[in-house]
Amino acid sequence: MSLSLDFIVRLIGFGWMAYLGFWLGRSLSGPNPTSDQILATVLLMLAGGGLGLILAPRVIIYPLRSLFRQARTIPLSDVILVAAGILIGLFAGMLLTVPLAVLPAPYGNLLPSIATAVLVYFGASILYLRKRDLIELIHLWRQQRAPKTAPAPSSGETMATQPSGRRYLIDTSAIIDGRIAAVARTGFMEGTLLIPSFVLAELQILADSNDDLRRQKGRRGLELLNQMQQSSPLPIEIINHDLPDVLRVDDKLIELARQHHCPIITNDYNLNRVAGLQGITVLSINQLSDALRPPVMQDQRLHILIRNEGNTRQQGVGYLDDGTPVIVEHARHLIGQTIEVIVTRVHQTQTGRLIFAIPAEET
């Protein structure tokens, strides 16, 4: 906003509030005001004008600045809902104007405008805050009116390719991890994968980082997203919905998941715990991977290729087919050999399993 517009708004606020003070003083003074009443009217007019000079920018300019800053991130559906709420509030205010206008002055002159402003505010706020419930009611109403028999899929379109209404928010860690693409290809998931714009921005920051590891992670995430958009059986939607009042990406994801009523797919342990405490459903790729790994029990015999030495001098380390490390005691001298081992214990960590074993020849 330019300085000239700020000055004009202050003048309009001064004139309108000064007139309001003058009108209020004349209404309270009666048809034949005394000198004290005239002085009180002048003071009310000056006080109203000064209040208008101070409040006009805060009531008009500051909200407009905030609105212009958020205009690019506010979805069109939110704008439509707010406009509908304003119209509903205006209509309700018009209905209340008739009975309120018959009240004695000054109530009959002030209350219609105040009631209309309050109803407009509440109409817009309620529709905006309850938009997801409203959308769900519309979907439910459509489902109830829809025919019971679903139409047969057309040629070339199978049931697996028909879109589903479920949506999933994808975290940066799940994109970089890469396994979400393989999970989507299996057909176990149905719905739409939502990628917030601030997650894309975080990937871009990683891809432009000076650190080689961070730069590699960011580029891998962007490349994976590009491949998924071209070949993934699940539709991928980029949502340009930022939350400027929330600074951390994890907090933005949680708030967005709450607004959209959808789960978050992530590998971030801290995000998993924080979102779970706030009632947000979290789907962890690591937990899914652990659930699909073949069970390994104590005293089970395995054949392991010893690849590396362990943390202690006598340990050797091998791996299962799924990448689970197997730490074998007294096997350092067996590096490069495939041996039979006996599992002694299985340790579960936040990132996966650790299997401890001993060579079978020692038993």
128 and 181 assigned to the same domain? no
What's the pLDDT at 150? 46
pLDDT recorded at residue 350: 66
Please report the DSSP string for 134-148 in residue order.
Answer: HHHHHHHHHHHHS-S
Average pLDDT over the chain, rounded to an integer? 80
Domain end marker among 257, 290, 323: 290
Domain enclosing residue 265, as ranges: 160-290
> Which two tokens mark 243?
């939350």
User: How remote is the C-alpha of 348 from its chain's centroid?
Assistant: 31
Mean pLDDT, residues 178-207 taken together: 85
Q: What backbone phi and psi angles, to 5 degrees, belong to 171? A: -85, 160
CA distance 196 to 284: 18
* 168 and 286 within one domain: yes
156 — pLDDT class (breaks 50, 70, 90): very low
- Residue 143, pLDDT score: 65
Q: In terms of domains, do 261 and 305 share one?
A: no
Do 177 and 280 fall into the same domain? yes
Residue 300 domain flag: yes
pLDDT per position as a tens digit, 60-114: 777 777 766 665 556 666 778 788 888 998 898 888 888 888 888 777 778 888 8
Model confidence at 157: pLDDT above 80: no
Domain termination residue (choose one: 10, 33, 64): 64
Q: Do 331 and 221 share a domain, yes or no? A: no
- The tally of domains found in the chain comes to 4
Is 153 part of any domain? no
Asked whether residue 283 falls in the same domain as residue 335, the answer is no
* Together in a domain, 196 and 273: yes
pLDDT at 161: 39
Let me know: does 167 contact 259? Beta carbons within 8 Å: no
Do 257 and 185 share a structural domain? yes
- Residue 233 predicted with pLDDT over 60: yes
Q: Are residues 184 and 99 in the same domain?
A: no
25 within a domain of the structure (yes/no): yes
Least confident of 42-46, 150-154, 165-169, 286-290: 150-154
Whether 276 and 336 share a structural domain: no
Single out the residue in 41, 64, 87 at which a domain terminates.
64
- Which pLDDT value is given to residue 102? 81
314 in the same domain as 347:
yes
For residue range 261-272, what is the model confidence (pLDDT) as tens digits?
Answer: 889 998 888 888
Buried b (16+ CB within 10 A) or exposed e, 330-358: ebbebeeeebebbbeebeeeeeebebbbe
List 317's β-bridge partners, or say none: 308, 327
